[in-house]
Amino acid sequence: MKKTIILLAAALTITTLTIIATAYNFLFSDNVRQDGYLYIYDKSDPVEFLKLADSSGLFIKLSRLQVSAKTEKLSVAEPGRYRIAKGMGSREIVRMVKYGWQAPVNITLSSHIRTKERVASILSRNLRADSVSILKMLKNDSLAKSFGFDNANFIGMFIPNTYELFWTITPEEIAKRFKREYDLFWKGEREQRAERIGLTPQQVVTLASIVSEETNVKAEYPVIAGVYLNRIAKGIPLQADPTVKFAIGDFGLKRILFKHLETSSPYNTYKVNGLPPGPINIPPLQAVDGVLNRAEHKYLYFCASEALDGTHAFSESLGEHNRRARAYHSALNRLNIR
């Protein structure tokens, strides 16, 4: 009798351990076939979640997820972009979608982007929100106004950088995030420098966008900024060729002709005094700082240098400027460059 009891106890122990091992295997053992991402677009019930999981092809056994969904009392799988990696167990995956522990997306917004359409296209590539909804946000006058901008200069709020965003972020949340980054960028010394040169931060960005298109030589940013600020102070039109390209919408234009200078647009600084109503691109931060640290000089003109090295020759008078311009064209002629 005693021997029978011992045998029964041993059998029960083995059975219990087997059940525990099986449960552990279902909940915690690797259930991922390959690394990837699981995308859940909307709040999903367990049935919908399991369908998405099955169609993703990422998991070894769907039955393990089913068991984990029950033991974790999953009622709703939250929308998100979830990083699925080899070695993950079913319980970890279910808890991840239950609590919305999604992986962030890195999005790089570079400088020299000229249009809101382009900004919307870049942001929408790796987000749930599409380019149409993001563009609608970028063109929302009341939203821009609530942040202290208008429709023309709103694009200047978008500082070039790499950002960590969640895939499910809404267009309005995108705007709020970029406004926080903008405020951090301008807080303190930069805002004070803008005030000292008599410009608002929005005007600094607008001028920086012009400066950045005038030269590829970053060391020239403060000098060219100084030229334009001198012209503004004297009431002389900026006469900046990049603004004409923006006004006519031809960004690849190689030569500005007289007919282009007659374009009627608030962005044509040959016809309108002062700065245009907004930036003609998202300027690099070095150009913004170049404006804030403008060089003090008396230059009012500049043209490409006869050295043909990408630098510019600066002049205080129109006569001097014309001589430098002729020297540049002579250098081109000597090399038979047309």
DSSP code string of 68-116: HHHHTT---BPPEEEEE-TT-BHHHHHHHHHHT-PPPEEEEE-S----H
Question: pLDDT band at 17, cuts 50/70/90?
Answer: very low
Q: What is the pLDDT of residue 334?
A: 85
Q: What is the pLDDT of residue 102?
A: 97
Banded pLDDT at 198 (limits 50, 70, 90): very high
How far is Cα 275 from Cα 277, in angstroms, rounded to an integer? 6
Task: Note the pLDDT tens digit of each residue in 259-309.
Answer: 888 899 999 999 999 999 999 999 999 999 999 999 999 999 999 899 989
Enclosing H/E stretch for 180: helix 171-186
pLDDT-derived band of residue 257, with 50, 70 and 90 as boundaries?
A: confident
The pLDDT of residue 15 is 45
Q: What is the mean pLDDT of residues 5-15?
A: 48
Interhelix angle for 201-214 vs 241-248, to 10°? 100
The percentage of residues in the chain with a pLDDT greater than 90, rounded to a whole number, is 81
Q: Which two tokens stand for residue 42?
A: 């909307």
Cα–Cα distance measured from residue 267 to residue 273, given in angstroms and rounded to the nearest whole number: 10
Distances (CA, A) of 39 to 45, 79, 86, 121, 277: 14, 7, 17, 20, 41
Q: Do 101 and 60 form a contact (C-beta atoms < 8 A)? A: no
First and final CA of the chain: distance in angstroms? 110
* Least confidently predicted of 55-64, 125-134, 156-165, 185-194: 55-64
Range 67-88 average pLDDT: 96
What's the pLDDT band for 27 if we cut at 50, 70, 90? very low
14 — pLDDT class (breaks 50, 70, 90): very low
**Six-digit token string for 38:** 């699981």
**Tokens representing 65?**
């997820």
Task: Give the pLDDT confidence score for residue 2 in this predicted structure.
Answer: 58
Beta bridge partners, 80, equal 40
